[in-house]
Amino acid sequence: MLAGGVILLILLLWWGINALVSSGDGPQQGPATNPFATAEQNRQENLQNEVDQPANAAAVDQPAEETSQSEIAVTEVKSEADASKQKTGSAESWKNMPGRGQEKEHLPEWGAGFSALSGPDAGKRISHLPVFKVVRGNAESDGVWGSLDSALNEVNSRGAVIRLYGPGPFLLNSHRLRDITQLIIMADSDQQPTIMMQAKNKDAKQSEVNLLSFSSGLLRFQGVHLLCDVSGLSGSGVCNVLNLDQSDLTFQDCSFTLAGTTDRVLRLVNSTGAPRTTTGRAAGESRIFLENSVIMGQNLEAVRVDQLYVDVLLSNCFLSSRGAPCLEFGSLDKAMSPGLVLQERKIPRTARIFSSTLLSDQTIFALTGPQEEKKSGKSDQEILASGETDLIVINSVLIGSRKNKQAAMLTLHDWPQDKLRNQSASRFDEINVKLENALLWGWPSYLRSTEQGDPQKVFQIDSHRTWQQSWGNHVAADMFQSELPAELEELLTPAFIKPLLDFSKQKNVYAVSADGVIAGCDPARLASLSESQQRRIKAVLEQPDIDQGIQSQFAKAKTETFDMSKGNLSEFLNSPAISGPTRVNLSGQGICYMTPVTLENKQIQLVFQNESAESPQVVELKLLPSSAKTRSKSGIEAFFSLKNSTLEVSGGAFRVSPERKGVVPRHFVSCQNSRLALDQCILAALLLNDNRFQSAISIEPGSSEKSNQILIDHSFLTVSGSILQSASTQLELEVRNSLLLSQQDIFALPAKPGDSAGIHVSLRQSTFAPQGSVFAISEETGNSSSAGQAAVQIIAEESLFLPAPSSSATRSDFSKTASLISASKSSTPRQGIEWWGNSNGYMVERFNVIDRAGGSSPGAEKEFSAEMASLFGEEADLHELSSRGGVIFQEQKLPPLVKLQPTHFQLLPTCKAATWSDMQQPLGADPVVLQKIIEGRQNQEKSGRIKRAF
């Protein structure tokens, strides 16, 4: 018994000592664990979280066994057996990552945490970081930003998760971020948003331009497309898209596409800086991880490293570069002071290429030799690169071009030639290349080396036999294929073509395969920006900012006041008191009258101020007795007639009444070469069985090519005619947060082919209810050389499209004749319309795509989606809601048409349309906000739906 007690006591002491050691060295797994950070860093960050968020302290202090983290524990190794077990455990922890064949034997221990951003437990792994939500174009509120730049400006040293909602594009200007522990930029849903980076010509004088600089932290991209336009950058030098200084990077499920050309050297990732001695890593290496990603561009280097210690891992990636190497490693000749690193690495730099396809017409790997000056008469062979570089290529395909006779799979710049030409076994001690189940296609040579100061002095390896003799390792001869299959030439343009990346039909693949593993990337798991998506991005970026243009006109406007109940507004607006940009505050209660207003070369802002919600102001048109004898027999043209003018109407409620014969105008506003903004406006112009009122807004053709600009914001317009009819082929129209109802077509537009679209339409968070069509396109003859060019470009986001109620004196039902587009029988809408939609809802039970003989009948979800795709392309209408029962209103039977209110369009909370938008909010206009405007209780600041949701 005594011996048993002593043994038990020894075991307890041993367990206690190990527990103390583990608490000091092991990682503190929990919500605040950084996959790249050390145990001490994670522990300090958790303590900081307890201070910042006391309520979450209990969750942070949970034991490791109760968390879902899969990070590898770093403990002291007592014996070789323990070391072997730890290495085995490291490989085992990568089972969730697609490691194939011999890849598992070469996996680094630091990679296990990288699957944290995907899967059901993703939220737990980043719960310690503040979340910034970015919705393009929305008003900013708590936790929600309207632009990616605004969100980045709020990130502090603690770090953040930036979630991007919708497809974008999200503009990203140049930023310099330092000392941020962890920054994650990721997609919120399966829609891969696009981040648009633009190099500005203002940086032309700089020899090195960095678009996004990140220092001393971890930068992560997850599920996004990066599109970089360098066409605006002139000058010579270098342009780094992601410039890392003593930092780590992960680039997962992403793509990078380069647009435009420049004379500069372009790099996606440029990693520099001294060893990271503050990380607690043995050698302070930086770590770069690219997974399931596509990187393409002319003269683009994917990764450049100019550091002593670095790990680069590519897994299931497609890299295609024309005119530049895929991966470049700078010289290792650095001045290393004592104590610079904690422990010397056996292999300073390692690049692992797993299950990937890399293409370049220059070289895949470029290594620069020592640049140290000769000392003490040392010979060339004695001046060597300090350390070693490991290149591990497994299950991958490296493709070159035989058209470039100087192309080589591995290129050594400024390398000592004497040692390379020496037949000793140590001549490649500084480079270790491991090839397993790899294919080398289309290379004139596999290794090419040049010497500093004498570029004509070249050493190269151009055959399998010489390669095998150089390293002394057995390599299958079938890996080396000097001829590239003809069908793969197109990939070098560069281009991402999924069918060409399936190498299962290539015989050489099976000749080198181990365990049936097919070399190369898996194209089914990769995605890149298509030409259609790039056209969408271009269309979105080219949208004019009408609101900003109008507001700039009235930035220094003078202010006048006018009482609608005591005078004639028309006479006042044309009086000498109105000169230059003028803001007119209008007062009055109840029904007020005005005579037709004609404005020419004027800039006027009308602001209706309702003093009492009990008696809101309503404006009707009325003729003065003195004008009754002189008025035209053809009738009244419009409430407002604009020519070369700017008019903004804010908070006005207008009504067209048929009670007095001859007072009904043909249009509410008539524009010619003008700007018009209707902000928080109401127009009631439903005249049953009366065709005198033709449209709310009429666009007249002008003598110049100046485009008319129309903005409708937070407005409720109900008309018996059209909302807008245009006789001009130059128009910019923007509708947002509005409800438009028409007994005919909502927008009647001409389609005249040209070199570019003359009519641009932007629809956002609005509801459209026609009895005819939303867009009625009339054909006009155009330039025959421009055949196929769209005349009307439409961008629609988070909007509702449904039929208007049928006109009836009793309770009414929805029409069954409404459609999205109407066109002639001899043409298709695709010839005149370019459509880009996102998260729109359609009442398909009673709503057609096209109103034309032979068109599809309503009520078929597959037919509606298929017809939209056939007309505008598969990627033209993203995340559309076109299912039966997707759009349901709370009130099934609507009141008579003339008594319709915005609240009658309130969505049933349980229908799909109520949570279909990017922010899981209702589609279409907000009926509650519009109802307040009718009642005279509108908010001048227009509280948006973002503020309602959060």
For the entire predicted model, the pTM comes to 0.81
Q: Kindly report which listed range (89-103, 658-672, 754-768) carries the lowest average pLDDT score.
A: 89-103
DSSP single-letter state for residue 552: H
What pLDDT digit, counting tens, does each position of 382-414 carry?
333 345 788 999 999 999 998 888 899 999 888
CA dihedral sign, ordered 253, 916, 763, 783: positive
21 against 478, higher pLDDT: 478
939 against 813, higher pLDDT: 813
Question: Facing residues of 134 across strands?
Answer: 145, 164
From the list 772, 774, 887, 762, the residue with the least C-alpha distance to 836 is 762
Predicted confidence (pLDDT) at residue 458 exceeds the cutoff of 80: yes
Predicted confidence (pLDDT) at residue 630 exceeds the cutoff of 80: no
Name the pLDDT band for 136 (thresholds 50, 70, 90): confident
Burial class for 800, CB neighbours closer than 10 Å (0-12, 13-18, 19+)? buried
Mean pLDDT of the chain: 79
What pLDDT digit, counting tens, does each position of 789-835 carry?
678 999 999 999 999 887 765 556 677 778 999 876 555 556 678 99
Q: What is the pLDDT of residue 745?
A: 93
Average pLDDT over residues 914-941: 84
Q: What is the pLDDT of residue 845?
A: 87
What pLDDT digit, counting tens, does each position of 870-895 carry?
889 888 999 999 999 999 998 877 78
How many C-beta neighbours within 10 Å does residue 683 have?
Answer: 26
Q: What is the pLDDT of residue 270?
A: 96
Q: What is the largest CA-CA distance in the chain?
A: 126
From the list 801, 754, 824, 797, the residue with the least C-alpha distance to 921 is 797
The Cα-based distances of 532 to 170, 327, 528, 764, 874 in angstroms read 17, 29, 11, 21, 9
Three-class DSSP category at 496: coil
Q: What is the pLDDT of residue 368?
A: 86
Predicted confidence (pLDDT) at residue 331 exceeds the cutoff of 70: yes
392 against 621, higher pLDDT: 392
- Pair of tokens at residue 590: 């109840």
Q: What is the pLDDT of residue 346?
A: 63
Three-state SS for 237-306 is: CEEEEEEEECCEEEEECCEEEEECCCCCEEEEEEEECCCCHHHCCCCCCEEEEEECCEEEEECEEEEEEE
What pLDDT digit, counting tens, does each position of 514-537 carry?
777 888 999 999 999 999 999 999
φ and ψ at residue 345, rounded to 5 degrees = -80, 145
Predicted confidence (pLDDT) at residue 163 exceeds the cutoff of 80: yes
d(C-alpha 744, C-alpha 747), whole Å: 9
Q: What is the pLDDT of residue 105?
A: 83
Q: What is the pLDDT of residue 86?
A: 38
Three-class DSSP category at 585: strand
Predicted confidence (pLDDT) at residue 461 exceeds the cutoff of 50: yes
Three-state SS for 653-665 is: EEECCCCCCCCCC
Three-class DSSP category at 196: strand
Predicted confidence (pLDDT) at residue 165 exceeds the cutoff of 60: yes
Predicted confidence (pLDDT) at residue 507 exceeds the cutoff of 70: yes
Predicted confidence (pLDDT) at residue 322 exceeds the cutoff of 70: yes
Element (H, E) at 866: helix 861-872
Share of the chain above pLDDT 70, in %: 74
Q: What is the pLDDT of residue 362?
A: 94
855 against 440, higher pLDDT: 440
